Amino acid sequence: MNERRMINAPNESVSEAQPNGWMNAELFLKWMHLCVKYSNPTAENPVLLILDGQASHKDLDVIEFDRKNHIHMLSTPPHTTHKLQPLNRTFMKPFKSAYNDACASWIVIVSCRKNQ
């Protein structure tokens, strides 16, 4: 992992990436463990994850883990328009904007430290 990704990251932050940039089942299962840790789903209060149809989300180990931990996954169909992708309209657009702002701030902070 590139340690620079974690500069000024909140405590307990995790950063992992695949060399090819894609999610795989092993990395997604690690992410699911973190999801359970921080959301604490129960039978009475389960978690609903709305995901794209990426293959790592359909791995048997992931599905079994989710069932045991009260996580319900809903996959949206591939190649649908933005009108059928609720996350694009309600979450991803503002998230992308906030993420880009945070990345720009991080770049300024790191570059200022290098110049000192």
Three-state helix/strand/coil letters over 84-96: HCHHHHHHHHHHH
- Which one, of 109, 112, 101, 99, lies nearest residue 7 by Cα? 109
* Residue 115 Cα to chain centre, angstroms: 32
Domain chopping of the chain, boundaries:
1-75, 81-116
- pTM over 0.95, yes/no: no
Q: How far apart are CA 27 and CA 47, in angstroms?
A: 19
Per-residue pLDDT of the chain (116 residues; tens, 9 = 90+): 567 778 888 888 888 888 888 888 898 999 999 999 999 999 999 999 888 777 777 889 999 999 999 999 888 777 766 666 666 777 778 888 999 999 999 888 888 877 66
Give yes or no for a contact between 47 and 35, defined as CB atoms under 8 angstroms apart.
Answer: yes
